[in-house]
Amino acid sequence: MTAFTADGLQFGKTRHERWRLLPARLGRMLWIAPIILALSVTTLYPTVFLLALAFSKSTLGKPFRGFVGIKHFATTVQDPLFLSAIGRSVAYALSTSLLQLALGFLISLLFTSLLKAGRFLMSLVLLPLMTPPVMVGVAWKLILAPAGGLLNGTLIKYGVISEPISFLGHPLLAWLAIAVADLWQWTPFIVILCFAALSTIPEGVHEAALVDGANAWQRFRHITLPLVAAPLSSIFLLKLILSFKLFDLVYILTFGGPGFATTSAGFSIYRRAIEQFDVGRAAAETIVYGLVIGLATLPVVRLHQHFERRES
């Protein structure tokens, strides 16, 4: 029997009732056990392991050789090379994500207006997305090569330049080359997501606006854009996170050069761990970079929440 207080409030169950409810509780625990196990393996364990490395003297072959406290973090936040790499990564991620979102959204609008032809073109757009990142880097390195490269050869052929340009040997041009390769690879992904967002807009809304005499710009500004604002902010957040993970294109195209001009934060952490064998310092840099990513993406998350509240 369940016990009650003087006010009639339940405050406990008898042993018999607890044993009777035990199978149901065990059943609920078994349902969520795979999720807890997966989160522990993929999130909890790597996080704890990373923190342990960051607070210890660890090399690639001999981890956890001694506790060093916050020494790695103090060194990391005072390292001008790593701070510069973080600055470059943040600037690159924000600029390329905005550009790719704008371009992908415009292409998806074109595909939407083409109706059935747009769905056929969507399958062609998928081709760059299905190309392995390493192959993308190799292909663009061949295109941009000073000697025998397709781009230099074309520019010389039509008299635009008189001698080959080392696109990957100039700091600004090297970043532009990485951005172009990234644009070619990931814009199709943005197009697909934007096309899906535009497909959710009811046709009746546009038809009603046409009846009311709204032109194309007015329909886009007052109907299309507000209805897809929340999905677009989600797409931008996803691409922003992907851009923060920039590594493969830097590794293949420039290897961080010329000098340290195109060294991203991810590539700097890789060199610290793999080339210098300082795994503890690399773990601390990873945590610091993760915090920077969190701060950089927080305004986008808030913007997405604002758009969702406005829709509801």
CA dist list (Å): 133 to 181, 233, 263: 10, 25, 18
In a domain, 104, yes or no: yes
Q: Comparing 19 with 89, which gets the higher pLDDT?
A: 89
What is the tens place of the pLDDT at every residue in 133-176?
A: 889 999 999 999 988 889 999 999 898 888 999 999 999 999 99
In a domain, 65, yes or no: no
Question: pTM higher than 0.75 for the full model?
Answer: yes
- Answer yes or no: do 199 and 245 share one domain: yes
Question: 181 is written with which tokens?
Answer: 């390769």
In a domain, 61, yes or no: no
In a domain, 62, yes or no: no
- Answer yes or no: do 31 and 178 share one domain: no
The four Cα atoms 157, 159, 163, 164 give a dihedral, to 10 degrees, of: -50
Contacts of 219 (CB under 8 A, 6+ apart): 206, 209, 210
- Answer yes or no: do 100 and 38 share one domain: no
**Residue 8 pLDDT:** 43
CB-CB neighbours of 277 under 10 Å: 15
User: What share of the chain in percent tops pLDDT 70?
Assistant: 88
**Residue 199 pLDDT:** 85
CATH number at residue 262: 1.10.3720.10
- Answer yes or no: do 35 and 159 share one domain: no
Q: Residue 4: phi, psi to the nearest 5?
A: -130, 155
**Residue 279 pLDDT:** 94
Question: 253 is written with which tokens?
Answer: 């195209």
- Answer yes or no: do 7 and 79 share one domain: no
Q: Comparing 27 with 254, which gets the higher pLDDT?
A: 254
**pLDDT interval class at 33 (50, 70, 90):** confident
At 68 the three-state DSSP class reads coil
In 40-163, which residue ranges form alpha helices assigned H by DSSP?
45-54, 71-77, 80-113, 116-130, 133-143, 150-157
Look-up: residue for tokens 């522990």? 40
Q: Which residues span the domain enclosing 221?
A: 71-311
Q: Comparing 26 with 13, which gets the higher pLDDT?
A: 26
**Residue 10 pLDDT:** 45
- Answer yes or no: do 22 and 105 share one domain: no
**Residue 139 pLDDT:** 93
In a domain, 59, yes or no: no
- Answer yes or no: do 41 and 99 share one domain: no
User: Does the pLDDT of residue 6 top 60, yes or no?
Assistant: no
- Answer yes or no: do 33 and 76 share one domain: no
Of the ranges 14-23, 189-198, 261-270, which is most confident? 261-270
CB 278 within 8 A of CB 272: yes
Look-up: residue for tokens 């050069």? 257
Q: How many domains are contained in the chain? A: 2
At 11 the three-state DSSP class reads strand
- Answer yes or no: do 10 and 109 share one domain: no
- Answer yes or no: do 149 and 224 share one domain: yes
Lowest mean pLDDT among 107-111, 118-122, 215-219, 283-287: 118-122
- Answer yes or no: do 40 and 182 share one domain: no
Look-up: residue for tokens 């663009």? 140
Closest CA to 51 of 75, 26, 68: 68
What is the tens place of the pLDDT at every residue in 242-282?
A: 999 999 999 999 999 898 999 999 999 999 999 999 999 99
In a domain, 63, yes or no: no
At 23 the three-state DSSP class reads helix
For residues 294 and 56, what is the distance between their CA atoms, to the nearest angstrom? 24
**Residue 97 pLDDT:** 96
Closest CA to 125 of 198, 193, 200, 189: 189
In a domain, 64, yes or no: no
CA dist list (Å): 221 to 26, 63, 162, 215, 228: 53, 57, 46, 10, 11
Question: 264 is written with which tokens?
Answer: 């991203």
- Answer yes or no: do 88 and 13 share one domain: no
Beta strands in the chain (DSSP E): 3-4, 10-12
At 144 the three-state DSSP class reads coil
